[in-house]
Each structure stands twice: as structure tokens, then as C-alpha cells.
Amino acid sequence: SDPDLVARAEAAKAALGERLFVLGHHYQRDEVIQFADVTGDSFKLAREAAARPAAEFIVFCGVHFMAESADILTNDSQKVVLPDLGAGCSMADMARLGQVEDAWDALAEAGVIDQVVPITYMNSSADIKAFCGRNGGAVCTSSNAEVALEWAFAQKDDAKIFFFPDQHLGRNTAVLELGFSLDDCVVWNPHRPNGGLTVEQIRAARMILWQGHCSVHGRFSADVVDELRVAHPGITVMVHPECTHEVVTRADLVGSTEFIIKTIEAAEPGTSWAIGTELNLVKRLADAHPDKNIVFLDRNVCYCSTMNRIDLPHLVWALENLVAGNVVNQITVDVETEKWAKVALQRMLDLPG
């Protein structure tokens, strides 16, 4: 990266000292991640944000829903900054509060609402998290989806989980971790009346999955898994649970970004790995572990374009403004939304394990 920008980022960080804490998600570019005080998956970063009450500024190198969650979990005097406001998440955008409220009304009409526990993936807007908090539900991330679903099923008799926005994480967790069948899961299409389901389908379902997905992880295909196994006999295939069920069932290991990193760190030299998650992370792992053979599980380039919007020029711009006393790109959540979103986030943080 540009040596001038590197020096400027270092100088701004030094000038802000303890007043600043920089969080970096594992999908961030190398040029940005080098300035993170802590790196992590979305669960670890939420916990880290909550654990830094002394930092006046939290600069979040990640995407919008993560910065919102950090704002919810920090105290009122702390300011959370997202270096580029264009860093959203297409999956989070697939579930809007109005759509979720309409779906909730339809579930009430189907006569099942007393059984339904809403669980939202971290990758959702703060108002969706607040909806879950208000309605007895919780947030989960890819590293605690199994315990979150177990918790949810224990909340009500004959419980059904309404899971959004990622149908794949919901299905993969319910089927592969909790032992449900694919027939126990139905998909709610927010663009069709009654989600495109009959009342009988809704009543029979245990998991009602919002029709959302990650466009990055959706690109990994089962065919490539098969091809790689032929090309590299003995290779271990490890994927993120946002991949399709077809891909995840063909993989050897499935887990969050933090799990993927820890697994590679613990792997024996000389072992071969195919990894199905965002490319910045896979490249960084391959560079950091030249003694292991690490390949990417896709024929094409596969960055998360919104994660990539946080680049060094944006980070330097945000930091230098903070040094000058201007808080740019502050992410704030309104008081009422924050109150209920915090309830849902806290239920997640209180989960065992």
C-alpha cells in the first residue's frame, strides 16, 4: 500500500492514542487490517466493542450492520465511525422491517404466532434486531447459531423459529447441527403473499427461513468441491455456513471466519486446504501459512465488494478528521431501536459457550 498513506495512518493513530480503538473484520483488505487493534469475526468484534468503554472513538473497519451493533453495545458517549458509508451488506438489505412485520402478521393469521421465536443473523439492520428483541427473540452469528437455535427452541412449546435474513445459515444449522430434516424447513419469500406458502406448510414447519443469502458465498458451487477433490487428493474442504446446503454438505468442515483461521493455524505443515469464504481472508491465510497448501474454492475472483469499500484512503480520511476534531461518518442508532436491539444482542452474548 501507498507508503505515504501508511505513514499518515500511523501518525493519526499515534495522535489519537488511547482515545481510539480500531476494529477490523477478517474480510477487510490487508492495507486496512494492518491498522486494526483487534481483528475478528462479527461475534468477536461485537464483544470487543462492548469491552472498550474507555475508547472515545471506535473506528469500525467492516460493514454497516457491524458498526450499528457496535454503537448499540457501546455507551452513549462513545462514537462509532464507519470509514465509508457505502459499506453495506446485500444480505442485510434483503430483510426490511416492513416486510418482516408483514410476515409476522401473516404468521399470526395462520394461527402459529404463539409458537414463533424470531432469530436474526447479525447481518441485519438494527431495526430488525430490535424487532427480535421486542418479540422474545435474539441475534446469532455464524459462530453461535447452533446454541442460539437450541435456546430458541427451548423458549416455547412446539416452537418454530423464524430465521432471517440468511436462509443458508438457518438451514445448515437446523439440519446439520440440530438434526432437523430439509422438510422441516420452509422458505419465506417476502415478495409473495403469505411468503409463497400455504397455511398447512406454515403450520407443519419447524424453521421458517427468510429468502435471503450472501451473494459472495452463494458463488461457491458443489461442482468445484468435487473437481478440487479429484485435483488434490486428500484435500480438506472448509467453508463458511453462508454457503448453500449443497456445498456445506460436501465440505469436511464448516464454521465462522474465526473458526476457519484457528483451524488453519492448528493444521499440520504439508496439509492441503480448500477454503470457501471471502477472498481477502483466504489470500491472507495462504500468505501467512506458506508451509500449507491453501487454495480458494472458486474459479473466479470473489471479494465482498462492500467490505472492500473500506480502503486505506478512507481509513486515513476518517482518522485524520478525528485528529482534527471532526467526527465523520458516525453511525448512530435511535434510542428506541437501540433499547430493543440491545435486548436481542444481549440474549446472544448471554448464550452458553
- Binding-site members for iminosuccinate are 25, 42, 121-123, 142, 240-242, 257
Sign of CA dihedral 338, 353, 174, 207: negative
Shortest gap between Cβ of 214 and ligand 13P (angstroms)? 6
Which residue type does 21 have? Answer: F
Query: Of 141, 144, 173, 221, which one interacts with ligand 13P (CB under 6 A)?
Result: 141
Q: Does residue number 139 form part of the binding site for ligand SF4 (CB under 6 A)?
A: no
Q: Does residue number 307 form part of the binding site for ligand SF4 (CB under 6 A)?
A: yes
Which residue type does 39 have? Answer: T
Contacts 24+ apart (CB under 8 A), 3-7: 5/31, 5/312, 5/313, 5/316, 6/31, 6/34, 6/312
- Nearer to ligand SF4 (CB atom), residue 13 or residue 190: 190
The answer to whether the beta carbons of residues 274 and 257 sit under 8 Å apart is no
In DSSP terms, 40 is beta-bridged to 25
Q: What is the DSSP secondary-structure string of 279-321?
A: HHHHHHHHHH-TTSEEEES-SS----TTGGG--HHHHHHHHHH
Q: Does residue number 42 form part of the binding site for ligand 13P (CB under 6 A)?
A: yes
Q: Which stretch binds ligand SF4 (CB under 6 A): 13-21, 208-216, 221-229, 287-295?
A: 208-216
Q: Does residue number 36 form part of the binding site for ligand SF4 (CB under 6 A)?
A: no
Q: Does residue number 91 form part of the binding site for ligand SF4 (CB under 6 A)?
A: yes
- Nearer to ligand 13P (CB atom), residue 89 or residue 95: 89
Query: Of 68, 71, 84, 278, which one interacts with ligand SF4 (CB under 6 A)?
Result: 278
How many Å apart are CA 245 and CA 262, to the nearest integer? 23
Binding mask 75-104 for ligand 13P (x = CB under 6 A): --------------x---------------
311 binds, among ligand 13P, ligand SF4, none (CB under 5 to 8 A by kind): none
- Nearer to ligand SF4 (CB atom), residue 89 or residue 138: 89
Residue closest to 167 by CA, chosen among 205, 112, 133, 222 = 205
How many Å apart are CA 325 and CA 16, to the nearest integer? 10
90 binds, among ligand 13P, ligand SF4, none (CB under 5 to 8 A by kind): ligand SF4
Query: Of 99, 120, 123, 221, which one interacts with ligand 13P (CB under 6 A)?
Result: 123
In DSSP terms, 164 is beta-bridged to 120
149 binds, among ligand 13P, ligand SF4, none (CB under 5 to 8 A by kind): none
Grid coordinates of 94: 434483503
The answer to whether the beta carbons of residues 23 and 81 sit under 8 Å apart is no
The answer to whether the beta carbons of residues 89 and 64 sit under 8 Å apart is yes
The answer to whether the beta carbons of residues 44 and 258 sit under 8 Å apart is yes
- Nearer to ligand 13P (CB atom), residue 280 or residue 337: 280
Q: Residue 108 contacts by C-beta under 8 Å, 6 or more apart in sequence?
A: none
Query: Of 95, 132, 304, 341, which one interacts with ligand SF4 (CB under 6 A)?
Result: 304
Binding mask 243-282 for ligand 13P (x = CB under 6 A): -------------xx-------------------------
- The residue with cell 422474545 is 136
Q: Does residue number 214 form part of the binding site for ligand SF4 (CB under 6 A)?
A: yes
- The residue with cell 477490523 is 24
Contact footprint for ligand 13P (CB under 6 A): 41-43, 89, 123, 141-143, 214, 242, 256-257
Contact footprint for ligand SF4 (CB under 6 A): 63, 89-91, 123, 214-216, 242, 278, 304, 306-307
